[in-house]
Amino acid sequence: MNYMLLDDAALVAQIAREDRTAFETLYDRHAGQTLGLAVRVLGERNLGEDVVQEAFWRVWKLSKQFDVSKGNVKAWLFGITHHLAIDTLRRRKDNRMVEIDAESDDPDAPTMLDLPDEMPEPLQQIWEKMSSEKVRSALATLPEPQRQVIEMTYFQGLTHKEVAINLKQPAGTIHTRARLALGKLRELLAGSVLVVVTVAAALIQIVFSLINQK
Amino acid sequence: MSIEDQLMLYALGALDDNEKHAIEQALARDPALRAQLAQIRGVVAVLGESVPPVAPSAQLKRNLMARVDADRASRRPTLTPSRPSLTIWQQLALAWRRAAPVFALGAMAIALVSGLWAVSLTQQLRQVQLEAQRLQSEVAALSEPGVFVKALPATNAQATASASLVGQLGSPKVLLRVANLPALDPARTYEAWIIRDGKPVAAGVFNTDAGGMAQVILDNTIPWTGKEQFGVTIENAGGSPMPNLQTLVFLG
């Protein structure tokens, strides 16, 4: 079996059968991106690697709960990585002992953020056409106040209350900005998918027209 | 704060510990909330794609795979020597080895029975041989001059019984053989009579065995002339001086 040809869902299905090679393949495919996210949140490589190790470990342990027909492996992996990175960041800020694997010995009782989701169809389409460049472009088009809230919560690990204090804005305003940012982001990414589909449809139509003319 | 905002902030990681704990409890209770969260998380997770990747160290992968290997080893059941699949001949050989003690016991039993049977047959053969020798002797005796064999007719009382008398003229001794004559109770007996010139003379008493057989040598003290008659009656135990004609069994 050529594991490199398997998509993420097929790899996770194999991992659920304790397939070591499938797990290694998934790691090789996504370790760099997840470590990038962890380092972006934590600002530190060593802790980032601890987070990535724990995130993949949870994929290994929770793979049987992943529905290959409905879930998105990358979204699941990013979700776990982000959750662990935020927890680690807050422990460090609180001068608490940083133990990444605090929950790792109890994978049967993971937090909601560790569990794989059944991703709705529109989101699946977004993820299928996803690229780092598209996401960066979509983020860049957000209004600065909205982008700022996303930056401070998702990447810097501040709570909504801390963001409100830092920006000297009411909590409700922060919530609204975050909501608008995510809505806009979704529209932008879905739109890019729509553009791709529209262009593809137009090209097909042109091809058929040319064939008919002949 | 609305539940939608709580879910959004939870997905962004922007709730404090208390708020996070509360929403997780709500999520655990409500599948609809979990579906709503899945919608939001699908978009939030996209943000992870916006950061540039960082090459992980080789040590990270080694540590992770070592952890996976240890987990796989711990889940693997303890290996016990598995029995290899056997060919039909090996199975037959195994079955034979298992059944051999039973066959051995059976063979021993058969040998024992056969041995006893053989002993029995040998004894029977010996008896037959002895009987043959005896018959040969009798035939030889019967072929002697003056030897006679006389069948004794049974009366109606013992119609199925038979008797014969073997003797030699000039000899006082005579052999009486009876068959199918029922055995009598101890209070009674069969008594043989030799009748000469119309006068019965007691020749001896006997009884038959369980098979109704008897073979008795009677000594008449007077040499047999061939003119005598012979009779058998049933008398009281010990015999009678005169025959009871009401209980006559043979006469001839």
Mean pLDDT computed over every residue of chain A: 81
Which of the four pLDDT bands, split at 50, 70 and 90, describes residue A211?
low
Q: pLDDT above 70 covers what percent of chain B?
A: 86
Greatest mean pLDDT among B90-99, B118-127, B205-214: B205-214
Length of chain B counted residue by residue: 252
State which residue of chain B sits closest to A116, comparing Cα positions. B38
The arrangement of strands across the sheet holding B162-168 comes to B147-152, B162-168, B173-179, B214-219
Q: Which chain B residues in 75-104 lie under 8 Å from chain A, judged by CB atoms?
A: 75
Tell whether the model's pLDDT for residue B10 goes beyond 90.
yes
Pick the CATH number of A1-119 from 3.40.50.620, 3.40.50.2000, 2.40.430.10, 1.10.1740.10: 1.10.1740.10
Between B231 and A103, the higher pLDDT residue: B231
Partner residue opposite A36 with nearest CB, options B13, B14, B54: B54
Q: Give me the residue spans of the domains in chain A.
A: 1-119, 120-214
CA pair distance A77, A55, nearest whole angstrom? 7
Report, as an integer, the average pLDDT of A104-117: 56
Q: Which residues pair with B165 in a beta bridge?
A: B150, B176
Q: What percent of chain A has pLDDT over 90?
A: 50
CB contact under 8 A, B46 and A126: yes
Cα–Cα distance for residue pair B52/A202, rounded to 1 Å = 33
Helices and strands counted in chain A (H then E): 9, 0
Contact between chains at B49 and A33 (C-beta distance less than 8 A):
yes
Is the pLDDT higher at A3 or at B104?
A: A3
Per the model's pLDDT, the better-predicted residue between B36 and A68 turns out to be B36
Q: Is the pLDDT of residue B56 over 90?
A: yes
Do A1-119 and A120-214 fold alike per CATH?
no
Q: How many CB atoms lie within 10 A of CB B65?
A: 15
- Is B42's CB within 8 Å of A117's CB? yes
Tell me, what's the pLDDT at A25? 95
Whether chain B has a CB inside 8 Å of the CB on A104: the answer is: no
CATH fold of A120-214: Arc Repressor Mutant, subunit A (1.10.10)
Picking from B14, B39, B48, the nearest residue to A81 by CB comes out as B48
Give the pLDDT score at A108.
Answer: 43
pLDDT, tens digit (0-9, with 9 covering 90-100), for B68-115: 999 988 877 654 444 555 566 666 666 677 677 777 787 777 777 877
Least confident of A40-49, A135-144, A184-193, B2-11: A184-193
Look at B46 and A60 and tell me if their CB atoms are within 8 Å.
no
Q: What is the ipTM of this complex?
A: 0.78
Which of B24, B63, B71 faces A112 most closely, judged by CB atoms? B24
B209 touching A (Cβ < 8 Å): no
Q: Could you tell me which residues are beta bridge partners of residue B178?
A: B163, B214
In this predicted structure, what is the pLDDT of residue A162?
93
- Check the CA dihedral B68-B71-B76-B78 and report its sign: positive
| A147 exposure class (CB count in 10 Å sphere: 0-12, 13-18, 19+) | middle
